[in-house]
Every structure is written in structure tokens, then in C-alpha cells.
Amino acid sequence: DTEVTQTPKHLVMGMTNKKSLKCEQHMGHRAMYWYKQKAKKPPELMFVYSYEKLSINESVPSRFSPECPNSSLLNLHLHALQPEDSALYLCASSQAPSLPAKNIQYFGAGTRLSVL
């Protein structure tokens, strides 16, 4: 099973709202990722968690706040977003951080976010 599950599938929010995106995997993977993807563009890395610790933050604005409560779950908390933050947010996981032989990334289906 190479399933990464993301909820919700779609989200519409106003600029003053607070919402959260969720990602779950039960493959025993110890690295989890958040990406942002605009239409017809490649995924842009936002955050990487390795063994539940934040290891990479690609200078993402503080209105995006990641959280990794345990090895299976990854959240992205959203607050005071801007219309330009509208995009597809993808979660991914890989088996073992920092082991090149175990770094195949499996993507979730994404949350399509619209900020009004």
C-alpha cells in the first residue's frame, strides 16, 4: 500500500479564517513533506519533517504553520492567507530520511485551496 491520504480535497476560505490541512500515511515512513503547486508548474517544497522533527523550511511565510503530531500524521495550519496562496497543496512521504536508497516520495491527492 502506497497510500498518502489528504483531507479535505477542496477548501475555500476567507483571508481572516483559520483552517488546517491534514495528511496521513500508514506505510511506516519517517519523512513527510508539504508542497505547494500552481497550475502547470512543478511542486514547490515548503516543509520537510524527518522523524517528526522539522528539518527543512523553505522560507515559507509564517501564515503557514506545519505540525507533525506523530509519525503518521502531518498538518498544515493556515491563518490570514492571501489570494495568491490559492493552489494545490500536496503532501508526500518517503521511507527513511537521509537514506538515498529509501527516498522515493509518494504523493497524496492534494487539497485544492481557494482563498477569497
Partner 1 sequence: GENVEQHPSTLSVQEGDSAVIKCTYSDSASNYFPWYKQELGKRPQLIIDIRSNVGEKKDQRIAVTLNKTAKHFSLHITETQPEDSAVYFCAASGITGNQFYFGTGTSLTVIP
Instruction: Give the interface with partner 1 as residue ranges (CB under 8 A).
Output: 31, 33, 40-43, 45, 48, 50, 55-56, 90, 94, 96-110
Nearer Cβ to partner 1, position 17 or 52?
52
**Least distance between partner 1 and beta carbon 16 (Å):** 28
**Least distance between partner 1 and beta carbon 26 (Å):** 17
Taking the C-alpha atoms of residue 59 and residue 75, their distance in angstroms, rounded to an integer, is 18
**Least distance between partner 1 and beta carbon 76 (Å):** 16
CA 58 to the chain's CA centroid: 12
Cα dihedral sign for 13, 61, 73, 41?
positive
Q: Which three cell numbers stand for residue 39?
A: 497550475
